[in-house]
């Protein structure tokens, strides 16, 4: 993969995932009708329990602490990917293992709380969500960079084949 594809892929990933973070952050800043739409949209992927969700001026964001940290991890991963120019030694084939390892701290944090060993906190939910977000974000950026590379390659092949 060429450096230009990595740059373009990371820019696309950063912009799209930052937009997702923006949408999750909007409920306190929009009218009730817009808030309702955002909350309904994010309720598909998040429990949105008020006691486990960040608030601004008493209004919940569209997702819980852990989901918010996952979403924040995506653009962070895009920046890291661009900074290291995709030089991290993980291939897309290792994604299931790497994502499984990244989910493990959250499972332990959640499980310990459920069975009463400890009570998790905002910090533990944010840290474990951030780990998942950065790990998933890495593979998301890699996939987007790969798509950009394939599109560029197929586009140049198409130009060469046309008279």
Indicate the angle between helix axes 32-43 and 3-25, nearest 10 degrees. 120
Q: Which of 24, 158, 13 is nearest to 81 (CA)?
A: 13
Digit-by-digit pLDDT tens for the chain (163 residues) are 566 667 788 888 899 999 999 999 999 999 999 999 999 999 999 999 999 999 999 999 999 999 999 999 999 999 988 787 656 666 777 788 989 999 999 999 999 999 999 999 999 999 999 999 999 998 888 888 778 777 766 655 545 555 5
For 157, the token pair is: 């092949």
């Amino acid at each position: 993969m060429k450096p230009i594809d990595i740059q373009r892929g990371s820019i696309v990933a950063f912009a799209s995932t930052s937009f997702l973070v923006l949408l999750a952050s909007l409920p306190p800043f929009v009218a009730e009708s817009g808030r309702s739409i955002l909350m309904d949209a994010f309720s598909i992927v998040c429990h949105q329990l008020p006691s486990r969700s960040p608030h601004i001026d008493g209004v919940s964001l569209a997702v819980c602490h852990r989901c918010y940290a996952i979403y924040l991890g995506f653009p962070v991963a895009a920046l890291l990917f661009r900074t290291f120019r995709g030089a991290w030694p993980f291939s897309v084939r290792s994604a299931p293992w790497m994502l499984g390892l990244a989910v493990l701290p959250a499972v332990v944090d959640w499980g310990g709380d459920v069975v009463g060993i400890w009570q998790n906190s905002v910090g533990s939910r944010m840290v474990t969500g951030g780990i998942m977000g950065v790990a998933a974000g890495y593979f998301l950026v890699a996939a987007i960079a790969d798509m950009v590379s394939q599109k560029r390659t197929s586009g140049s092949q198409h130009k060469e084949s046309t008279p």
